[in-house]
Chains A and B, each alone.
Chain A
């Protein structure tokens, strides 16, 4: 990418495909959402508590709340799309040879897919009835 577009009309002119223009717009919109989502996430887990107090019981209690599941799902989705697309821009800028660039992106998207599925599983595909006495104890004490 030789020329970095600076305005929406320049971006329209520079990008040959609609998908690159869509990503350009997406990076800005998702960035706005992520400011609130990530600042909130850091505030809950680093400022309101001492992050060294995070352990299994803390995470299990957090993930047993519906609003955390929904909040963290949006956070995971936006952060993965924004972050992986940002890494893709970097690979495309710094890897010169087309073959290597292709395989680097194959590796990146594979890792991204595995991480995303793991994250969704952690948030949702998880029966809290089966998580053992630790969680049941926590839920009763609420």
Chain B
């Protein structure tokens, strides 16, 4: 496998997170569409299944993927439409990683106790 510099990793993470989010979106629309069966339908059973901790960890990972994909997408837009974007693409990628972590930490502080504390 070709191991490039930061730009290559930025691309790989963007693609992986993008594919993961798109597949999540398909499953998410499918499971929410079960509300059409009404209050006595299978919706609550399905959601209770998804509220088990492995799926909730998965949801946290999908949300982290969304934040990375959004911020790196902004980096791509800046690279495409500004004069200076490509010159600073490496610094911006590290900025994306720092911002993703900075947004992620308070989310983890809020969500992890809900998952494991039975709140």
Q: Which residues of A contact B (CB under 8 A)?
A: 6-8, 28, 31-32, 34-35, 38-39, 42, 46-47, 50-52, 54-57, 59-60, 63, 76, 79-80, 83-84, 86-87, 90, 111, 115-116, 118-119, 121-122, 126, 131-135
A59:B43 contact, CB within 8 angstroms: yes
B15:A115 contact, CB within 8 angstroms: no
In the complex formed, the residue of A with least CB distance to B29 is A119
A6:B80 contact, CB within 8 angstroms: yes
Sample of 8 more A-B contacts, CB < 8 Å, known A35-B73, A63-B35: A7-B80, A28-B80, A28-B81, A56-B39, A90-B18, A115-B30, A121-B36, A133-B39
Taking residues whose C-beta sits less than 8 angstroms from the other chain, chain B's interface range is 35 or more
Bound form: Cα–Cα A111–B22 in Å: 12
B22:A86 contact, CB within 8 angstroms: yes
What are 18 A-B contacts with C-beta separation under 8 Å?
Answer: A6-B79, A6-B86, A7-B81, A28-B73, A46-B111, A50-B114, A51-B56, A54-B51, A55-B47, A56-B41, A59-B32, A80-B25, A83-B21, A86-B19, A86-B22, A90-B15, A118-B29, A135-B39
A34:B39 contact, CB within 8 angstroms: no
Bound form: Cα–Cα A46–B59 in Å: 10
| Chain B residues with CB below 8 A from A47, complex form | 107, 110
B44 interface hit (Cβ, 8 Å): yes
B119 interface hit (Cβ, 8 Å): yes
